[in-house]
A and B are shown apart, each in its own frame.
Chain A
Amino acid sequence: MSFRKHGVMALAMGFCTATSALAPQAKACGGEWYPEAMVDPRIQGVAQAEKALSSGKHLAAAASVIRMMPHIKTLKSKPGTLVARAERVLAVALSRAHGALPVAREVPRDVLGAWQGSRDGEATANVAWSVDVLRRQASGKTEDVALKTDLAEALARVPEHRSEARSLLEDLAKRDLIASPEGYAALAMLRSQSGDADGQKLALKRCEAMAKSQDACLIRS
């Protein structure tokens, strides 16, 4: 193909791109044509997912993120961006669901992927993804104790990471900085596994005082 043909092709593609970007819905039938501004619904959507997660509705939060960004695992996020916030919601929800999100009713089948964690190894892989995401985000925000709490909670789901989780949570608990009831539930579980019954009771008590629903404080290793 000659250079000229390349140029024509590029121009044509540029025109198509510009047209489609400016006119998501062209009103050409009987009325005047005008470009219509579109608002990215994910801005509100991610904020609502964060709110849902914070109020204990982790499945609803996760389903919402998967619907909005079904290809989230392939996205590269930068700290503080919408994708990073969505990633965090999904990672925390996944760890709270032990890697298996029963969201088949809320998420179209074609984007459900392995999120349900129903096949061998999927749940484990999901929790591992959750740990990876939270660890990456926490490494860029060393002072964010809420993120540290979320990371420790996810680490507590993985047997080989439990001592790291315990160390993180004990340090935060000592300073009254565990930022979520689920963080205290994870600490209770870790203390229980190490035979610290009194410590477990204390952590559970804090979880129960903070949580909206006592379900958040159920210990499940």
Chain B
Amino acid sequence: MPHPQLIAIAASVGLLLGFGCKSPAPDQARPERPALSSRALAAASARVEPGPASLAFEPGDAARGKALVAEYECNRCHQGTGHGTPKLDQDCVGCHEQIATGKFGANRAKLPEWQAHVAPYRDVPSLTALGARVRPAWIRDYLLHPHDLRPNLLQTMPRLKLTPDQARDIATFLSLPLEAPAGSPLPTPVLAVSADPAHVARGKQLMTERGCIGCHHMTGAGFSPPVRSEPAPRSLGLAPDLRFARERAEPATLVNWLLDPTRLKHDAAMPNLGLPAEDARDLAAFLSFGALEPPAAPKAPSRLPLLARPVRFAEVNAKVFAVTCRHCHTNPDLAGGDGGPGNTGGFGFEPRKIDFSSYQGIQSGGVDAQGQRVSLFEKTSEGLPRLVAALVQRAREEGGGASEDLRGMPLGLPALSPEDIQLVESWVDQGRPL
């Protein structure tokens, strides 16, 4: 195959089964679902009927799910939530986009510094027509146990404080067919998908031939991770790890997606590749039934010993607190009254009043579930200061471990490096010197 063609196919097929969306143009209005009446919601809830191969899902209360989507502020990051775009200071992705493109109304001298920070945080998958693509049971489980679904993105879905019932209600709401398909009605797949070894084997071959693995990871399937030149196209960040395709979608849905993604999602980044039906069938067969190695066992985060040299606040602040923690935990007096989700509350979290904007703020601790001020340096059952424990926990979460008691920080962002955790831990151990 000629090289340019290969590149073109790799780039387009790379988005195969992306379930993602085009990166929004800065000024592009975000399409939103129409508001539904509670009766319509109730009726629609009853229509959520998982296919025979689906994971078990008992539909919940879609109206409550809609309210929860608002309460948990899903629209601060995602489009297609059924709720409008929030104002800019609540619109994480929109704000990052404005900063990245130099349109944000702030000190010009500050913008270049911020641009470097926000660049990776401009792309978040849209939830448009989620129900047409993704199994509700998977949505529920992913909300409860988010993991790294898109290895090309730095951020992941944060671990929200959701109960199983709440996750079910949200999944029910997000699975509703709230929008008419963009094109003509979806065709019934011409060819049924089965675990026929010949189809599965051909599907695996097509993964390489069609260039899918040029953009997608498929952990445990025996492919090398995608290699690409920098900078990679932004939209590739949304390419999911295809290991999870079988949990996320019905085989028939996979075929439909492969044949024409925009039929399922009007703003899909995945182009119509003009695949023959047999190719779509065999790719779907491999994605659904191909052999996968078992998932890797949870990895313990690597820890470094305490530093012997003095560590002062200025260093820890410059390397960690000011660049990572302060964005969500700041002094509301200095931020128009909104101290971020980790201070004045947000994303369904109660106000914790944690303030990383100053030395005194950090020493002032935060409010616990009982409403009591507690130190960020109080030792946990593991013997680590709370702050350090939360940082270590995030590294554990990335390694596949999770704890019901402790939420890893930074929430939904990559864990701090072992060196940065070592720095924070050493500073705490030295008595938190100014």
Contact = CB atoms under 8 A, between A and B. Distances in A.
Interface of A: 50, 54-56, 79-80, 85, 143-146, 149, 175-181, 206, 209-212
23 contacts: A55-B434, A80-B332, A80-B337, A85-B333, A143-B367, A145-B364, A146-B358, A146-B360, A146-B363, A175-B374, A176-B378, A177-B363, A177-B365, A177-B373, A177-B375, A178-B363, A179-B360, A179-B363, A179-B364, A180-B360, A209-B430, A211-B434, A212-B434
Given A175-B375, A177-B375, A146 B430 contact: no
B432 interface: yes
Interface in B343-399: 353, 358-361, 363-365, 367, 373-375, 377-378
**A-B complex: 4 closest residue pairs judged by Cβ atoms:** A209-B431, A176-B375, A146-B360, A179-B363
Nearest to A172: B373
Contacts of B26: none
Contact of A56 (B312, B360, B378, B434): B434
Given A54-B359, A54-B360, A143 B373 contact: yes
Contacts of A209: 430-433
Contacts of A143: 353, 367, 373
Contacts of A211: 433-434
B363 A180 contact: yes
Q: Is the interface of B mostly helix, strand, loop or mixed?
A: loop
Q: Is the interface of A mostly helix, strand, loop or mixed?
A: loop
Contacts of B378: 176
A115 to B, nearest CB: 24
Given A54-B359, A143-B353, A177 B364 contact: yes
A146 B432 contact: no
Contacts of B432: 209-210
A54 B358 CA distance: 8
Nearest to A81: B333
Given A54-B360, A143-B353, A176 B434 contact: no
A179 B361 CA distance: 7
Contacts of A149: 360
**Most chain A C-beta atoms within 10 Å of own C-beta, residue among B337, B374, B434:** B434
